[in-house]
Amino acid sequence: MITLYHCDAARSFRPLWMLEELGLPYELKMLPFPPRVFAKEYLGINPLGTIPFMVDGETRMTESSGICHYLGTRHGPTPLVVGVDEPAYGAFLNWMYFSDATLTFPQTLVLRYSQLEPEERRNPQVSTDYAKWFLGRLRAVEAAAAKSEFLCAERFTAADIANGYALRLADNIGLAKDFGPNVAAYWARLQQREGYQRAVAAEQKAGTEQNVAPRARP
Ligand SMILES: N[C@@H](CCC(=O)N[C@@H](CS)C(=O)NCC(=O)O)C(=O)O
């Protein structure tokens, strides 16, 4: 059984969504955010204190987009992963890495300096600058979504899950109002997927059952 440690609305939503799209059985363990402050025992499981943390047999992983790739290959084959022999293989990998290294990285600075830090440490200049940074990088998604329903390979893949999460986070931190028209339509399409809706429902159900309150959305 795969175990996924998750905080409401956090990056661990990527592997959660992937698990739902794959239809794999899993156990979802909810933690309050940030676990290093509110669930210190978690540091014994993942010394980084970050989520996601995924356990699958002997395998332990902490990178959300990497876990999606792993699940699709280890528990595939699945059309959610673009194969080495497909023309879109390079594009697929590029989107997979882009999702966290380029898109989510500036978002975390916005979140931290506009909401997570105590009032006296908040910094509007940092949050405004990195919101602009994020929206600038989002131009790649705007261009891709103008040409096709999905990011690569002309089908829904793990790249859409990995980057779709960045759009969910943007929505949660108040950046969706600045989406271009193609990104807005793409994000609306992704939210219509049954796999996405099952992942949201699983997150809510596990939070209620495990008595871990959802995080406030602005
Ligand atoms: N690159 C990692 C980043 C993991 C990460 O930083 N997760 C955040 C939540 S979205 C976290 O655990 N923050 C809590 C902390 O830094 O203590 C990934 O893609 O999973």
Residue-range definition of the domain harbouring residue 30: 2-80+196-209
Mean pLDDT over 183-200 rounds to 98
Question: Tens digits of per-residue pLDDT, 55-104?
Answer: 999 999 999 999 999 999 999 999 999 999 999 999 999 999 999 999 99
> Residue 39 belongs to what H/E stretch?
none
* Number of domains the chain contains: 2
In a domain, 31, yes or no: yes
Same domain, 32 and 66: yes
Both tokens assigned to 68: 């999606």
Same domain, 54 and 142: no
**CA dist., res. 70 & res. 21, Å (int):** 14
Question: Tens digits of per-residue pLDDT, 29-46?
Answer: 999 999 999 999 999 999
| pLDDT value for 48 | 97
In a domain, 218, yes or no: no
Give the model's confidence band at 216: pLDDT under 50 very low, under 70 low, under 90 confident, else very high: confident
β partners of residue 5: 29, 53
Quote the mean pLDDT of the chain.
97
Same domain, 155 and 200: no
Give the model's confidence band at 217: pLDDT under 50 very low, under 70 low, under 90 confident, else very high: low
Both tokens assigned to 3: 């175990």
Atom from ligand 1 closest to the CA of residue 67: 20
Same domain, 143 and 203: no
Same domain, 93 and 189: yes
Question: For tokens 């089908």, what's the residue?
Answer: 155
In a domain, 137, yes or no: yes
In a domain, 217, yes or no: no
CATH number for 203: 3.40.30.10
Both tokens assigned to 175: 């950046």
Atom from ligand 1 closest to the CA of residue 51: 12
Q: Of all protein residues, whose CA lies closest to atom 3 belonging to ligand 1?
A: 63
| pLDDT value for 145 | 98
| pLDDT value for 218 | 55
Start-to-end Cα distance in the chain: 35
Nearest to 94 by CA among 137, 53, 60, 134: 137
In the reported structure, the alpha carbon of residue 196 is separated from the centroid of ligand 1 by a whole-number distance in angstroms of 20
CATH number for 148: 1.20.1050.10
